[in-house]
Amino acid sequence: MRIPVWSRLRLAPRIGIVIVVTFVATTVTDKLLGMLVGMPDILFFEQNWLVDTVVETVQRAEQAGSGERAGELEALPGAQWLEFEETVEQPITNHWEQHAFGILREELAGRLGLQVDDVLVRTGDTEGPERALTPIVIILESIPMLISDLIEDDTDKMVVEHLRIAVRLSSGGWLTISPKSDGLETARLVRNLLVPIAAILLICSLSVWVARSIVRPLTDLSAAAERLGRDREPTPIGNYGSPELQAISDSFNQMQHELKRFVDERLQLVAAISHDLRTPLTRLRLFAEYLPDAEQRRTVLADIAEMEAIVSSTLTFASHQLSKETPETVDLAALLISICDTASDAGCAVSYDGPDHALIACQPVAIRRAFANLIDNGCKYAKSVKVALDVTAEAVRVMVSDDGPGIPADQVEVALRPFVRLETSRNRDTGGSGLGLAITDEVIRAHRGILAFAPAPPHGLEVSVTLPRVRDR
């Protein structure tokens, strides 16, 4: 569904709105998850009360037997806020914790008649009530007290999460005293993990949506430009909503039609001129037949024949540009064998190596002209030509190699230009208009194929043509 106001916005305000929406969505998600699993309790303990309770708990544990100890401790008044656990191994702590709670440890050790090292304090850093997993404990020296004074106290760290006070018993074990848990630690841990994951998913989703809205027109533009260069057929693009992108698409569509019209007009002009040249060439041929001098007659007829070949090649090139065949399923192997047989009948040493059948979807007349040009070029400049066909499930590869002079690597691009002839071909024996390779290159590109040139050992030229078996139009 297209939103009218959104479709009229430019890219800059769109990106700004998406950023704001992303921020609001992540904040709302955080708050909703926080409502589903609430924050833990915040317990305020007066220091004297905590010390008295720990001392009473340890003394009661020492007096009770091992079997009655748990019941005796649960009957204590402090059991409403604290829970107790007896362990054999010493709790793991660090030096910083023992230093931060040095005063509390010394007071407990003095009251219990123990060494300071027999009283340990273990805590966890708190990131605030909204992210805490266990109850947060605030130990007050006295009441009333300012919270600012409590937070700035550097002597004892009195705002902690996951408080554990461990005291060594006479039996060698340890009694650990901690705030009573509400049993939601795992749920809060899952909530804390889900908050950044949800934020990342929201940011990625909205970012991908914005990026696609920008990239899709560029992808369509690239595809349309590629098709215009390959088939010279306009591909209209548009309806993107954004004023900037719509302006670009409108300009590009207009440019496509202008280029199409410009090229078609020039090609029609070339075709018309080439066609009109045939009539005077025919009259010149008739006049040349009556020249009394045989040598002059042969020279003039040869020049006329070369001009007719140029005109024919030009008409072929122009007609191929102006009209496109309907693709059909063609047996490429049979087509290549037919071209090789025709060249052999004309006196060229041509051999074929490959399967007897290979079906592909192509424009039959155009593809025949392309391979005929390659084989004819080999026959003109070399003594022998080899044609090989390799077939896979996705593509076919045709290699036309000869033992001629070849084409230098830096001249390949020049040789593919229309009406361009390399110096090695400028003689009366080979002739040519410089359109053979241009037509071949145009046909192969129109079929989404690849035309490549490479030296053929020990000398010569190898031209490879790779064509997909199924055309993607």
Q: Which residues contact 424 (CB under 8 A, 6 or more apart)?
A: 381, 405
- Give the per-residue pLDDT at 473: 45
Question: Does one domain contain both 290 and 158?
Answer: no
* Residue 451 CB burial class (10 angstroms; 0-12, 13-18, ≥19): buried
Counted domains in the chain? 5
Residues 376 and 296 grouped into a single domain: no
Q: Is the confidence at residue 102, as pLDDT, over 90? A: no
Which residues form the domain of 212? 4-37+190-220
Asked if 314 and 332 sit in the same domain, the reply is no
pLDDT at 371 over 70: yes
Pair 310, 360 in one domain: no
Q: Residue 397: is its pLDDT beyond 90?
A: yes
Q: What is the pLDDT of residue 428?
A: 43
Do 300 and 378 lie in a common domain?
no
Q: Is the pLDDT of residue 466 over 90?
A: yes
The band of 57, judged by pLDDT with boundaries at 50, 70 and 90, is confident
d(CA 242, CA 400): 51
pLDDT band at 425; cut points 50, 70, 90: very low
What is d(CA 449, CA 362) in angstroms, rounded to the nearest whole number? 11
Indicate if the pLDDT at residue 249 is higher than 60: yes
Higher pLDDT, residue 463 or 136: 463
Q: Tell me what the pLDDT averaged over the chain comes to.
A: 79
Q: Does 46 lie in the same domain as 33?
A: no
Same domain (yes/no): 348, 469: yes
- pTM, two decimal places: 0.47
Under the banding of pLDDT at 50, 70 and 90, the label for residue 154 is: very low
**CATH code at position 93:** 3.30.450
* 199 & 317 share domain: no
What is the spatial distance between Cα 312 and Cα 215, in angstroms, rounded to a whole number?
45
Q: Check whether residue 464 and residue 360 sit in a common domain.
A: yes
Answer yes or no: do 328 and 469 share one domain. yes
pLDDT tens string 188-211: 788 878 888 888 888 888 888 878
State the pLDDT confidence band at 222, using cuts at 50, 70 and 90: confident
Angle in degrees, 0-180, between the axes of helices 185-231 and 436-446, rounded to the nearest 10: 150
Strands 349-353, 384-391: pairing kind: parallel
